[in-house]
Amino acid sequence: MSRPNSTPWQRSKYLVNLLLLVLPLYYFWQSMNPVAQPPLAQKTLGSLTATPVPLDELGPYLHDDIYVKDFRVDFCEGCISRIRQAYLVAGPAPENFPAEGDGILHGSVHALHVHAAFPEETREEDRLWLMVETWDGERLQASWPLDFL
């Protein structure tokens, strides 16, 4: 019985298999260690302070027929328990709280997460608006420019 001839494929198939085993580990490590984005400026809303942090450097993406961008909103210690509801939206100044659930903050007492609704085309006068209602019925607003996009 003769020995098969060594072809380039025969010599490199072990390296290809090794690559197939290593790539999922690399992508898993990348997903577990995301690159942190710089927070936006801290703003004061009455007795509360809020700091929105974009979760990625990408722009708004289409989700359920609306454009959204993901944020984490950090409030001062003990502030989350005083908040009844809060919304984060981008665009012109809102006159009242949104009727639908787009942009509502959700999460735990440690940090709140939001899928902030964005207009299809952002204009120069558009801003990122945080609207908070406390348990006392007080409605507070703060805004940030959209220059981080």
Question: What one-letter code names the amino acid at 40?
Answer: L
From the list 131, 118, 104, the residue with the least C-alpha distance to 43 is 131
Q: 48 and 78 in contact (C-beta within 8 Å)?
A: no
Architecture of domain 43-145: Sandwich (2.60)
Q: What are the φ and ψ backbone dihedral angles of 121, each rounded to 5 degrees?
A: -120, 120
User: What string of pLDDT tens digits covers the 149 residues of the chain?
Assistant: 566 777 888 878 889 999 999 999 999 998 888 887 899 999 999 899 999 999 988 889 998 888 999 999 999 998 899 999 999 999 998 888 776 667 899 998 888 999 999 998 888 899 999 999 999 999 999 999 998 87
Which pLDDT belongs to residue 1?
A: 58
> Quick one: DSSP state of residue 82?
G
Question: Strand pairing of 127-134 and 139-145?
Answer: antiparallel
* pLDDT at residue number 113: 93
**Residue 114: per-residue pLDDT:** 93
Query: pTM for the full model?
Result: 0.76
Look at residue 50 in the predicted model and tell me its pLDDT. 94
Sorted by where each begins, the domain ranges of the chain are: 43-145
pLDDT for res 141: 93
DSSP readout, 112-128? Answer: EEEEEEE-SS--TT-EE
